């Protein structure tokens, strides 16, 4: 982005128009590129830039343009200090005895410090300041690329003062939403046609530099699309603020190069995933289930928790305001989709007590999430109306698998059937149980009987009053 004092735009009525650059500025850019040479000090370059400001700065906008281009081009310079000695140490020694009251005293002190560090103390005492640093390497791209990057920086800087930005067009919506979430931005997404409102920094009680920077990081993803449009409400003015409307679409001369820095921290999601998996065994947790539509809004949950017929989506929220969270939770109420928002207390301000969500500071407490899941499970009990299919022996495990529920859920509401006897783990037909009851199993080895009849015989023996006596870890004898 550019510093706020270098942002160039015009106002017409309630509209704001960024002063983007194009072909006619290429000569100026090429002229500026020529002054950045290796082995010059950055201070020398600064002086030449000031001369260009006077030449091209007949208007305020002209001076701002030169200074703004200087900021962009300087990103491609590698600067180095002339000395390996920390200049702060040199200054500390020079000034440790107070002010030098005569020229003789000044020279004497410089000589002593120079000998101490074996350097020219006078030359290097301010070498750590940017203007004293030497240009080691210059990797400036073409003038066209510089112009495109300038326009991107200008656009990003204006959006830093936004209340809301609406994106539409031929965008990769799923990837864009995922990027918005990873950056922690507040958003409202609408289907048919798809558009996304990203809440701007000026919605916050105090505009956040980090939030504004994250919004800026989103822009290259948008402008790289085949067709895009951005409409924004821009807040200007210090004492008396006023909202101006901005509209930019399909700007050809704008860079889509995203920053190489790590733009999001996924450690919270990663930690939550493994903590949940390790601590909660009766729910299955899956990552990134994809977008869902709830009451006319698109949500992109981070996880889905599954148990029997229940699907509960979990969304870890980034930055927030009280109004944003309350409106989000309100939209989820009464929906057939079950969603648990997880909110970082340190990324927003306001009162959000009493809402069905989970809050955290440094790490998500999975026990809080589990407590909410148990409440959801208790309020969404479904009676399983199952039927048996005529086999002489049917296990509860088979029934649970056929009807898509856990065995534990099935056991909560087991049914009786006239032709079957319900044992501990099986339904066994009455005529088969009667036939088995006529045999004598006393003194026989359990393993032999299981091999002959099947695993269900253990439940049958218990029903018939037999006892199992274990001889060792692998052998047992049946007695009555």
Contacts of 478 (CB under 8 A, 6+ apart): 441, 442, 443, 444, 445, 446, 449, 461, 466, 467, 468, 469
- Concatenating the DSSP letter of every residue in 371-402 gives HHHHHHHHTT---------S-SEEEHHHHHHH
3-class DSSP assignment, residue 344 = strand
Total domains present in the chain: 4
- Do 327 and 404 share a structural domain? no
Spatial separation of the C-alpha atoms in residues 151 and 7, rounded to whole Å? 10
Residues 367 and 414 in one domain: no
Q: In angstroms, rounded to a whole number, what is the distance separating the alpha carbons of residues 373 and 307?
A: 10
Residue 200 maps to a domain: yes
Same domain for 339 and 293: yes
The residue out of 349, 378, 407 marking a domain boundary is 378
- How, if at all, do strands 338-344 and 310-317 pair? parallel
Indicate whether 422 belongs to any domain: yes
Residue matched to tokens 């560090």: 117
Q: How many Å apart are CA 304 and CA 293, to the nearest integer?
A: 15
Instruction: Tell me, yes or no, whether 16 lies in a domain.
Output: no
What pLDDT does residue 265 have?
A: 55
Do both 336 and 416 map to the same domain?
A: no
Backbone angle region of 119, left / alpha / beta, with phi > 0 → left and psi within -120 to 50 → alpha: beta
pLDDT at 332: 78
Q: Is 137 a domain residue?
A: no
CATH number at residue 199: 3.30.70
- State whether 374 and 297 are in the same domain: yes
- Considering the domain architecture, whether residues 289 and 373 belong to the same structural domain is answered as yes
What string of pLDDT tens digits covers the 480 residues of the chain?
Answer: 899 999 999 999 999 999 999 999 999 999 999 999 998 888 889 899 999 888 887 666 788 999 999 999 999 998 876 555 666 777 777 788 778 778 888 888 878 777 777 777 666 666 666 666 788 889 999 999 999 999 999 999 999 999 999 999 998 888 899 899 889 899 999 988 889 999 998 877 566 788 888 999 999 999 999 999 999 999 998 778 899 999 999 999 999 886 544 455 578 889 999 999 999 999 999 998 888 888 888 988 999 999 887 899 999 998 888 888 888 888 877 677 888 999 998 888 778 877 788 999 889 999 999 999 999 888 877 778 889 999 999 999 999 888 888 888 888 889 999 999 999 999 999 999 999 999 999 999 999 999 999 999 999 999 999 999 998 888 999 998
Q: Is residue 3 part of a domain?
A: no
Give the range of the structural domain holding residue 414, as residue numbers without chain letter.
393-479
Contact between residue 34 and residue 99 where contact means Cβ atoms under 8 Å apart: no
Among 319, 284, 314, which residue's Cα sits nearest to residue 301?
314
| Domain's final residue, options 193, 228, 256 | 256
Instruction: Please tell me whether residues 300 and 374 are part of one structural domain.
Output: yes
Quote the DSSP letter at residue 257: P
Domain boundary, last residue among 202, 225, 256? 256
DSSP code of residue 419: T
pLDDT for residue 450: 94
CB atoms within 10 A of CB 328: 22
Q: Is residue 75 part of a domain?
A: no
Same domain for 271 and 374: yes
Report residue 70 as tokens.
Answer: 């200087």
Residues 248 and 273 reside in one and the same domain: no
Beta-bridge mates of residue 311: 306
Judge if 279 and 366 occupy the same domain.
yes
Residues 277, 235, single domain; the answer is no
Q: What is the pLDDT of residue 260?
A: 42
CB 311 within 8 A of CB 292: no
CATH at 369? 3.40.1350
**399 in a domain, yes or no?**
yes
- Number of H helices and E strands in the chain, helices first, is 17, 23
Inside any domain, residue 69:
no
d(C-alpha 391, C-alpha 273), whole Å: 41
List, in order, residues 6 or more apart from 122 with CB less than 8 Å away: 110, 114
């Amino acid at each position: 982005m550019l510093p706020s004092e270098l942002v160039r735009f015009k106002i017409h009525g309630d509209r704001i128009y960024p002063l983007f650059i194009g072909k006619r500025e290429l000569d100026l850019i090429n002229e500026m590129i020529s002054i950045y040479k290796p082995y010059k000090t950055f201070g020398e370059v600064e002086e030449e830039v000031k001369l260009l400001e006077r030449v091209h700065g007949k208007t305020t906008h002209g001076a701002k343009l030169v200074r703004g281009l200087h900021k962009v081009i300087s990103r491609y310079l590698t600067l180095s200090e002339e000395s390996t000695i920390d200049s702060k140490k040199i200054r500390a020694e020079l000034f440790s005895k107070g002010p030098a009251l005569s020229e003789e005293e000044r020279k004497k002190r410089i000589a002593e410090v120079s000998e101490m560090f074996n350097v020219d103390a006078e030359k290097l005492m301010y070498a750590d300041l940017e203007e004293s640093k030497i240009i080691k390497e210059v990797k400036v791209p073409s003038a066209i690329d510089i112009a495109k990057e300038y326009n991107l920086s200008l656009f990003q800087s204006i959006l830093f003062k936004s209340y809301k930005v609406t994106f539409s067009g031929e965008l990769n919506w799923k990837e864009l939403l995922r990027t918005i979430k990873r950056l922690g931005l507040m958003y409202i997404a609408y289907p048919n046609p798809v558009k996304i409102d990203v809440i701007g920094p000026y919605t916050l009680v105090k505009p956040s530099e980090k939030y504004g920077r994250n919004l800026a990081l989103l822009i290259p993803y948008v402008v790289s699309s085949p067709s895009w449009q951005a409409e924004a409400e821009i807040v200007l003015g210090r004492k008396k603020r006023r909202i101006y409307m901005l509209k930019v679409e399909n700007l050809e001369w704008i860079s889509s190069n995203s920053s190489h820095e790590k733009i999001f921290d996924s450690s919270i999601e990663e930690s939550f995933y493994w903590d949940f998996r390790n601590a909660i065994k009766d729910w299955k947790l899956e990552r990134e289930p994809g977008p869902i539509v709830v009451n006319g809004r698109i949500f992109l949950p981070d996880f889905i928790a599954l148990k029997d017929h229940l699907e509960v989506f979990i969304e870890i929220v980034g930055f927030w305001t009280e109004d944003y969270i309350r409106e989000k939770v309100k939209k989820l109420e009464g929906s057939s989709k079950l969603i648990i928002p997880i909110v970082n207390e340190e990324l927003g301000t306001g009162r959000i007590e009493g809402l069905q969500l989970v809050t955290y500071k440094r790490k998500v407490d999975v026990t809080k999430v589990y407590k909410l899941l148990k409440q959801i499970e208790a309020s969404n009990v479904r009676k399983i109306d199952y039927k048996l299919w005529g086999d002489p022996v049917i296990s509860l495990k088979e029934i649970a698998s056929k009807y898509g529920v856990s065995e534990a859920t099935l056991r909560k509401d087991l049914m009786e059937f006239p032709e079957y006897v319900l044992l501990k783990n099986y339904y066994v037909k009455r005529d088969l149980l009667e036939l088995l009851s006529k045999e004598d199993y006393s003194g026989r080895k359990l393993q032999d009987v299981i091999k002959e009849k099947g695993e269900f015989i253990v439940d049958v023996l218990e029903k018939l009053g037999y006892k199992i006596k274990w001889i060792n870890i692998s052998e047992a004898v049946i007695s009555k």
